[in-house]
Structure 1
Amino acid sequence: MSIPRRLWLCAALALAAHAPVHAQGAAFPQKTIKIVSPYAPGGSTDLLTRAAAELVGKKLGQAMIIESRPGAGTLIATRAVKAADADGYTLLLQSNGFVSNLHAFKDPGYAMADFKPVAVLGKSSYVLMISTKGPARDIKEFVDYAKGRNDLSYGTLGRGGRTHILAEEFALRAGFKWQDIPYKGGADGVNAVLGKHIDGYFASVALAHPHAQSSNLRLIGIASEVRSEFLPAVPTFKEAGIPQMTDDLWIALFARSDTPQPLLDTLREAFREVSASEEMKTVRQRIQMSTYTASLSEFETGMKAALVQTIQEFKQHNLPRQ
């Protein structure tokens, strides 16, 4: 006796409904995963990301590549990932600018809710460097020297960025004024201090570390809660009586927030295991970055708080939005 046509149809529909879910769970990843970076290749951030991508690619059994798309204050890369499919195959590399750009630009082209963190690859902070040709040897002496002058300047990587806001915060809290000078990259800012073209620059720990013993540059303060393990001789601004001067620098990966949860969980677990490996600890040590130990939930909470702080800082320092 043949099975009624109606039963055949029901069975076929049931199989079709279950097949995609099973295939999705079993097949990911089945093609190359791309990490879109807003930074030029060759720097410490690039080295950190490539090391993590290689190890995670081996763990997942699929290649991971880095696509560099710098420009527009990291907006080009961020917008590109937002426009990509939410299938777990296109990730975004970002740092603190991911949060500050949401207010620095009137139309950034994305919202925080558009993305979910996958992993925090490392964290650091910013160090104020000055020239040894000046009279100051520490934060107090620099503030004493700066007060009453109107010819001091500092380097930034663009108005509204963290180096700009930190320098303005320092001047406000310490009671002096100086003028911002924009540069295209951190190395340009360091060279400007070396050439005495500017009086100060907030560099990342990785960028400042090679100059710790320099006879031409002096590292006088770090904007973190505690001293850096890589620059233990550099005091915090808190130690100098300016506790408001704290600003962590983080490097993280993001996926579209509407990426299916099973795929997001797979990526998060792979990066979590790799981040805890001895190989990645060695890489972070090599580029003077610390391990991020908090949870991704705490990281998201921190980003929301940082956005509120950025809005307050823009108002406080009367910074224009772009």
Structure 2
Amino acid sequence: MWAIKVKSFVILISLLWGSFGISAYAQSWPQKPIKFIVPFSAGGANDLMARAAAEGASKVLGQTIVVENKPGAGGSIGTVFVSKSAPDGYTFLISAAGVISNNMIKKTTNYKDSDLVPVVMIGLAPSVIVVSSESNYKNLRNFVDASKEGAGLHFATAGTGSTPHFVAELLNTRYGAKLIPVPYKSGSEGASAVMGGQVAGTSEASIVALPHIKPGGKFRALATTWTKRISVYPELSTAVEQGFPDLQIAHWAGIHAPVGVPPDIMDKLAAAVDVAMKSPQVSDRLKSQGIEPVGGTRASFNEFVDAERARLGAIVKAANMKDEQ
């Protein structure tokens, strides 16, 4: 009996010491530079949001945050790298919708959803549905109605599971549109195809689309697909306002951690990013580029990720979206 009591006491002390050690480690974090891994090329919406978050959060934490781009395989290369990283609080993923949808669509990704933990939302670049400035379509209703006639309309995407692909399939499955997805290697190639008249339209991140929508530009904007109008372009109505209440999708960026990072560290990083997104210096700069800063808490980002997983999963199933890769 005495031996059992001693053993139980030793186990209890070990557990308490382990908890104390983790807590002390989290309190002293960060003691060296932190890495934000962007799974896309530099210059895109995801990359710009990552750099804004890194700049603002580093000031709050008093430690350098390095942004490192690891593009390829639709974001999977960078995502796998972070999922296999040590959970010490010094390597994080700048996540996008693909971190949720890739495992729904791709045959193999080399990571499981459970390998990554949501930390905080950074912001989003609302998607904008665009056509050539020389087309006859004036709004989203015109475009969808026209697609229902004849063989349908070709719609450029950045590949299977990209945001434009989800926009097209959501309009097809929920509103009876007849949009034929045409995959390109990148959003910029798809945008060029719209400008050149090879396809009828596409959707693109606000930061990419807005410079081409100004008077004399080569795009005509039909609608933004987020729940609110774009701060820097309020004259463009939302798809919801035009009678498409289910069309709510954006190019968002958040932060995920490899599973095992202490919760206290994730809370500190989430709080730092939230402060950054609410600072006028960062917020005003992002809004001027068509990006909406969000921030928030770990809890609010977890709720967003859960809702996004359910919503995107329903579209994948309804449209039978599959990637041969």
TM bin (shorter chain): 0.7 to 0.9
Partner SS, residue 125 of structure 1 = strand
- Asked if the contact 1:148–1:176 (Cα under 8 Å) also holds between the matched residues in 2, the reply is no
Segments of structure 1 that go 5 or more residues without pairing to the other structure are 1-9
- Asked if the contact 1:130–1:219 (Cα under 8 Å) also holds between the matched residues in 2, the reply is yes
Runs of 4+ in 1 over 6 A off after TM superposition: none
Aligned runs of 1:242-261 on 2, under 5 Å?
A: 242-261=244-263
Partner SS, residue 202 of structure 1 = strand
Deviation of 1:196 after TM superposition, in Å, equals: 0.6
Q: Which amino acid aligns with 2:167?
A: L
C-alpha change, 1:248 and 1:43, in structure 2 (3 Å) is closer
- Asked if the contact 1:155–1:201 (Cα under 8 Å) also holds between the matched residues in 2, the reply is yes
C-alpha change, 1:218 and 1:295, in structure 2 (3 Å) is same
Q: Which residue in the other structure is 1:115 paired with?
A: 116
Q: Which residue in the other structure is 2:153 paired with?
A: 152
Deviation of 1:314 after TM superposition, in Å, equals: 1.8
Aligned runs of 1:81-120 on 2, under 5 Å?
A: 81-120=82-121
Deviation of 1:317 after TM superposition, in Å, equals: 1.3
C-alpha change, 1:22 and 1:262, in structure 2 (3 Å) is closer
Aligned runs of 1:1-322 on 2, under 5 Å?
A: 20=21, 24-25=25-26, 27-150=28-151, 152-215=153-216, 216-292=218-294, 294-322=296-324
Q: What whole-Å deviation, never above 9, does each CA across 1:76-116 have from its counterpart, x for those lacking one?
A: 11111111100000010011111111211233333333222
Deviation of 1:246 after TM superposition, in Å, equals: 1.4
Give the Cα separation in 1 of the matches to 2:28 and 2:34: 13
Give the Cα separation in 1 of the matches to 2:229 and 2:235: 8
Q: Which amino acid aligns with 1:306?
A: E
Q: Which amino acid aligns with 1:183?
A: Y
Q: Which amino acid aligns with 1:308?
A: A
Deviation of 1:226 after TM superposition, in Å, equals: 3.0
Deviation of 1:66 after TM superposition, in Å, equals: 1.2
Q: Which amino acid aligns with 2:52?
A: A
Greater alpha carbon shift after TM alignment, 196-205 vs 111-120: 111-120
Segments of structure 2 that go 5 or more residues without pairing to the other structure are 1-9
Deviation of 1:75 after TM superposition, in Å, equals: 0.8
C-alpha change, 1:259 and 1:222, in structure 2 (3 Å) is same
- Asked if the contact 1:117–1:253 (Cα under 8 Å) also holds between the matched residues in 2, the reply is yes
Q: Which amino acid aligns with 1:253?
A: I
- Asked if the contact 1:150–1:178 (Cα under 8 Å) also holds between the matched residues in 2, the reply is no
- Percent identity (aligned): 28
Greater alpha carbon shift after TM alignment, 262-271 vs 200-209: 262-271
User: Cα RMSD between the aligned structures?
Assistant: 2.5
Give the Cα separation in 1 of the matches to 2:175 and 2:76: 33
Give the Cα separation in 2 of the matches to 1:294 and 1:58: 18
Partner SS, residue 283 of structure 2 = helix
Greater alpha carbon shift after TM alignment, 261-270 vs 154-163: 261-270
- Asked if the contact 1:129–1:219 (Cα under 8 Å) also holds between the matched residues in 2, the reply is yes
Q: Which amino acid aligns with 2:275?
A: E
